[in-house]
Each structure stands twice: as structure tokens, then as C-alpha cells.
Structure 1
Amino acid sequence: MKIRCIAVDDEPLALDILESYIAKLPFLKLVRTCSSATEAMQALQDEQIDLMFLDIEMPELTGIQFLNILKHQPLIIFTTAYPDYALEGFNQDAVDYLLKPIPFDRFLKAVTKAQERLQRHEKTPDAPAPSAPHEQDFMFVKADYKSVRVDFKDILWIEGLKDYIIIQTKDQKIITLLSMNKMMEKLPEAKFLRVHRSYIVSLQKIESIEKSRIRIGPKEIPIGEVYKENFLKWVEENNIQ
């Protein structure tokens, strides 16, 4: 199966590199190169496109803004010079996120993921998604001489102090005598991540990342050096799914 793709970037050199990479792979067919989101929109209307290589930082419309106005999207591989956009790429359900300058081996890894996803869809286009096993969505913690129910969906972040932790929800602060390690054992791995020796964050509540700091509402949470690699790995891995 040939994967029909377009490349969208306002930098001619970046388009030339993508075009040369695509030409090396027989399972890719470059249908068109576009220097703006408006050109790409026309290409998507004119052609059947399976995969779009999309720059994020472009004039008029950014790649993220462009995707937000599309009703039907092909698979997306983001290409950008700015690593701070990784979380936004994840939120757009992109296949992958390539940081410029893009080495060929990294490009090949990304398009192989796109190929695998398209092949899975071809084999089971109408198959319903398997039902996930039931996962407990709350926990009880001891606070103020009683057991308090905490729903995972309400947690924004957790802050560890010397002898206790503060669970910050959308409505209240809950103080309990627990270690950060013990708290991580109670939380679902897919929804929470420790990003600093003193902070655990709800991944679903992250609004932005900038200069090694996470913003959740009015709160800026530092990303510790020890935890940074694991956090960025999570961003890349989940960007694929």
C-alpha cells in the first residue's frame, strides 16, 4: 500500500529535506508540498491524503490552529524546531513529533509508525475497540481523623512536604500523612506522573509546558532534572497513541 502524503512548511529548505526523505521510501508517495496552511487545506480538498507532515510554527495559521479547524484529518507527523510544542502534539493525537533538524533514521521511525497504524485500520476498519478492564477511579486517604474519598479526575497536582502531602483538587486541599512513593502506588500510572521530588501531576490537567515548568491553572510546577527524561519520554510515547 502506498501512503499518500503532503508536506506543509513555510521554509523551502525544510520542504526539500522532507521531499528527499520521502523519495527514498517506496511505500510513500508525495502528492504535494505546501508552504502554508491554506495551501494544505486546498490539497486536502483536492486529493485523498493519508499522512501529513506538518510544521507547527507558521505565519497566518499555526499547525495546531490549522488542525483545530479541520473536520477530517489524515494522520499527522509534526515537524518543528520547538520542543515546547511536544505536549500540544500529543493532545492532537499525532503519530509522532519530529524535532528539526530531522535525521533520516528518526524520520523513518515516524513513518513506520504511520504505516503500522494505517495497516491496523485497514485490517479492522469496523472492529469495535476492546473494552478496557474496570479501573478504580477513586481512593480514600486519612485526613482530619477521618477517611476522605478523593476522585482521581478531581486531582490537579500533589505536593510533597517534609512529613505529609497536599492533594490539590479543583475544590479543596487535602492534607494527609503519606509519602510521595506511597501516593504513586495508589494512583493510576496512565493518569499521573511524578515530575519533581516534591510534585506529582495529573497528566490530563496539564495546560502548557515552558522552560522546564508545567502550568496547571494558576500553578507553575517545576520539572526536576532527575524526572525530566522520564517526562519527555512519556510525552513522546503517548504522542503516538
Structure 2
Amino acid sequence: MENRTFAFIKTDKKLIKLFFKDITIIKGLGNYVEINTTSNKKYIYYKALKDLIESLPDEFMRVHNSYIVNLTNIDYFEDNQLVCQDQKIAVAKSYKDCLITALNKMML
């Protein structure tokens, strides 16, 4: 299933189809993650952040110990902070250079 555009997650005893393009931010909550979407919905999913990043497409990047963002849904990046749908996320120093390199590849 290479080049798939969606995945299913199990939450609230349901399997929910999520398109990768609709995911904005994934926040780590211990062994769970909170997945935020462009439609302002939040889903709690039982999976550790470090395990989840390995199964996500390339447009997702870890920017903090507790956050993964979808690079295609970033509104702007300023002063070590990303803004995605009015949510500010601090970018850790250890991830900043990699993030800037990825964003530079997307520049006009």
C-alpha cells in the first residue's frame, strides 16, 4: 500500500479514516497521541509518538519531543514557533535545523 493518502485509527471503539492532508498536529500524551485535524476535530489514539512518526509520510516532521506537525498545514514559522490553525508550537533546538531545511525545500 505505497503512496496511500489515508490511514485508519481506532478511537472510541470505532475505526476512523483520516486523510494525511487533513492532519495538522499530533501531540504526544505518554502512550497516547492527540491528533488534530483541519476541521478542528481531535482524536485520541493509543500509540506512542516515536512509533507513530515511523509510519507517517514524509510531509510529517517531529519538531518537539511532544509534537509532530504536517508541514503542508503550517501557516507560518517565526521565533522558534510554528503556527498551525492558530495553535502555537515551540520548536525544540534539536529539531530546528532539520525543520528549516525541510521548509527551504518548499520555498518558491
On whether the aligned pair clears a TM of 0.5, the verdict is yes
Sequence identity of aligned pairs in percent?
Answer: 32
Question: Judging changes above 3 Å, is the alpha-carbon distance between structure 1 residues 159 and 224 closer, same or farther for their aligned structure 2 residues?
Answer: same
Aligned equivalents of 1:208, 1:180: Cα separation in 2: 23
| Equivalent runs, 1:23-38 vs 2, <5 Å | none
1:193 matched to 2:56? The reply is: no
* TM-score normalised over the length of structure 2: 0.89
2:102 partner amino acid = W
Q: Which has the higher helix share?
A: 1
- The one-character-per-residue Cα deviations of 1:208-235 (angstroms, maximum 9, x if unpaired) are 1111000111100110111112111212
Q: 2:24 aligns with which of 156, 163, 172?
A: 156
1:145 matched to 2:13? The reply is: yes
Aligned equivalents of 2:30, 2:3: Cα separation in 1: 31
Given that 2:61 and 2:68 are in contact with CA atoms closer than 8 Å, whether structure 1 keeps it comes out as yes
Residue equivalent to 2:84: 216
Given that 1:139 and 1:151 are in contact with CA atoms closer than 8 Å, whether structure 2 keeps it comes out as yes
Q: 1:177 aligns with which of 23, 26, 46?
A: 46
- The one-character-per-residue Cα deviations of 1:76-113 (angstroms, maximum 9, x if unpaired) are xxxxxxxxxxxxxxxxxxxxxxxxxxxxxxxxxxxxxx
Q: How far is 1:187 from its partner?
A: 1.2
2:28 partner amino acid = G
Given that 1:157 and 1:201 are in contact with CA atoms closer than 8 Å, whether structure 2 keeps it comes out as yes
Q: 2:71 aligns with which of 196, 200, 203?
A: 203
Q: How far is 1:184 from its partner?
A: 1.0
Aligned equivalents of 1:145, 1:178: Cα separation in 2: 15
Structure 2: state its 5+ residue gaps. Answer: none
Q: Which has the larger radius of gyration?
A: 1
| Structure showing greater relative contact order (alpha-carbon pairs closer than 8 Å, 6 or more residues apart) | 2
Structure 1: state its 5+ residue gaps. Answer: 1-133
The number of aligned residues is: 106
1:188 partner amino acid = P
Aligned equivalents of 1:196, 1:140: Cα separation in 2: 24
